[in-house]
Amino acid sequence: MKQGTRQFWKDFFALLMPFWRSKEKWPAIGLLVVIIACTLGAVFLSVQFSFWYNRFYQALQDYNQPAFWREIAIFSGLATVSVLRGVYAVYLGQWLRIRWRRWMTDHLLGEWLADRAYYRQQLTTGATDNPDQRISDDIQQFVDGTLTLSLSFLGNVVNLFSFAVILWGLAAPLTIPLFGGGGITIPHFMLWAAIVYAIVGTILTHLLGRPLIRLNFMQQKREADFRFGLVRFRENTEAIALYGGEASERQGLLRLFGGVMENFYQLMSRTKKLGFFTSAYGQASAVFPGILVAPQYFAKTIELGGVVQVIQAFGNVQDSLSWFVSAYSTLADYKATVDRLTGFRRSLEDAKAAARSGGIDMASDTRTNLAVETVQLALPDGQPLLEGHGLSVQPGDRLLLTGPSGAGKSTLFRALAGIWPFGKAKIRLPGNARVLFLPQRPYLPLGSLHTAVAYPAKPEEVPAETAAEALRAVDLSHLVPALEQEEYWARRLSPGEQQRLAIARAILTKPDWLFLDEATSALDEATEERMFALLRDRLPGTTWLTISHDPKVAAFHDRHWRIEKDGVAPARLVEAPEAAAA
């Protein structure tokens, strides 16, 4: 087995087996057993219908009216059972699918969110790999494809052996004459003809359809890239409108869609070639067994009912053997889905491995201060960014961090938050301390305004009146009537309103340590001073670490760290000798 094939099956079972070993396994196994029974029942009914067609057409040929009506009654019973089997096979299959999809979605979301892999993944892989599509679309396609293809394959295997037995008993031998007299006799010729016909079709289908795997993979990726471009446009409509960037955005979106079209044209061309062959193959299979059995019929060695049963049995054997031919497009799409999911999971593992192998040594202990013993931060490409050592922050300190743009201030905060894996550092954090980071651009989750104010806590954990009071404190009293209203608040609120809402979160959370990364940059001077005064009054025991370019903010801090940048050398983190005014 080739290395690539071995790796594919290893990755496939890594996706498949966790659900069947989980707490959900016994209900799922029960459903699967019933669904398999329905699948085998379909084969049993197909065999019964085969014999029924023999008897039915024989009754017509013999002008046997009582036998005709008896077969009609038998058909009614078989048809009723067939309908019930078909309906419950679909219903139970859907039930198993949604349970499996729910478990896989929860499991993959857990892997994505654990250890902040969703953030590190972007840093280590250079792209998000469209995680929204992996979690929403590909899980569904994987579950549907696994059940559909596996049950179809099982049904065809059982169907093959069932009708091969029938064809074995019905098919007469074929004698091929040789020069000089005599000949070669092939026993059970119809069965061997069906096998050879299917094998030739399978080989040709694989040769024609193999490129579909890569094309399906790329089509899903480019569709996701185009969709992400549209979502990004929607998220930034105001900025685009202010810039007047419609022409540039249109060009960029059409470029992304051009990638969709280019790959789709290749997909169309390859699908057309495969379609010509599979259609011709299917059409030929309708008359091929009739041509083979016709000499026996015209020689009157087989009756009409037997001819019909031979043709049906040949068709079933050939269809079962040609499963790969008929399912090739589905298999190509399914393999692309498995490749995307396994690639996504591998990128998560790489992100977590990079975090574990990094030199950022974070530890929490019984100490009450934050100590930066050594820090040597780097960019994802390994380029040194920031160095410093021997710095500490005591409880109750209000520390201001300043420095030139791009020197590593926000990256230092990310390292203190434990989400930056690049570089070497030894950082000691106070144990059991409540920590809150307020970035420059606050995150507003989907849902009500109450949900946005309470975040990261759940809205039910923050009483509505408490949330309303926090909004009033940050001069957002006009939003209180809409507290339980669900809107796209990230679009409705201005940047300044969003930053004040984040300050309200800090008031509600009452953290021991508060990190503010340009958290008031969108506010005017008077409002910014009110917000810092509010934090000072409402959170008297909270330790602050603030990044700001505004010199007036220094009035609310009593210590000052500065990042000094000199040419191409890494920036240096030092404590400024002067103390800010209290």
Quote the pLDDT of residue 238. Answer: 63
> Which domains are seen in the chain, by residue range?
3-352 (1.20.1560.10), 360-575 (3.40.50.300)
In 10 A of CB 171, how many CB atoms?
25
Pairing of β 384-393 and β 370-378? antiparallel
The distance of Cα 487 from the centroid of its chain, to the nearest Å, equals: 26
Q: What is the mean pLDDT of residues 105-131?
A: 75
Q: Look at phi and psi of residue 91 and say left if phi exceeds 0, alpha if psi is from -120 to 50, else beta.
A: alpha
Is the separation of the CB atoms in 490 and 498 below 8 Å? yes
Is the separation of the CB atoms in 560 and 580 below 8 Å? yes
pLDDT at 579 over 70: no
Task: Please give the Cα distance from 239 to 160 (Å, whole number).
Answer: 63
Binned at pLDDT 50, 70 and 90, residue 469 comes out as very high
Q: For Cα atoms 399, 402, 404, give the angle at the middle one, nearest 5 degrees.
A: 170
Residues near 258 by beta carbon (within 8 Å), at least 6 away in sequence: none
321-369: pLDDT as tens digits: 667 767 777 887 888 888 888 888 888 887 777 666 666 777 776 667 8
Quote the pLDDT of residue 366. Answer: 67
Report in angstroms the alpha-carbon separations of 439 from 40, 170, 414, 419, 573.
59, 78, 10, 14, 20
First CA to last CA across the chain, in angstroms?
72
Is the separation of the CB atoms in 531 and 504 below 8 Å? no
Binned at pLDDT 50, 70 and 90, residue 279 comes out as confident
- Give the tokens for residue 346: 């591998």
Is the separation of the CB atoms in 163 and 313 below 8 Å? yes
Phi, psi of 326 (to 5 degrees): -70, -30
Pairing of β 543-547 and β 513-517? parallel
Phi, psi of 564 (to 5 degrees): -105, 135
In a 3-state reduction of DSSP, which class is residue 358? coil
In 10 A of CB 370, how many CB atoms?
22
Quote the pLDDT of residue 282. Answer: 73
Report in angstroms the alpha-carbon separations of 247 from 244, 259, 403.
8, 19, 37
Residue 404, CB-side half-sphere exposure with 13 Å CA sphere: 11
482-491: pLDDT as tens digits: 999 988 888 8
Q: What percent of the chain has pLDDT over 70?
A: 91
DSSP E strand boundaries for 101-253: 174-177, 183-186
197-229: pLDDT as tens digits: 778 877 888 788 778 878 887 887 888 888 888
Is the separation of the CB atoms in 92 and 52 below 8 Å? no
- The residue among 49 and 324 whose pLDDT is bigger is 49
Q: What is the mean pLDDT of residues 451-471?
A: 92
pTM: 0.67
Query: Among 34-43, 142-151, 350-359, 519-528, which stretch is predicted with the lowest mean pLDDT?
Result: 350-359
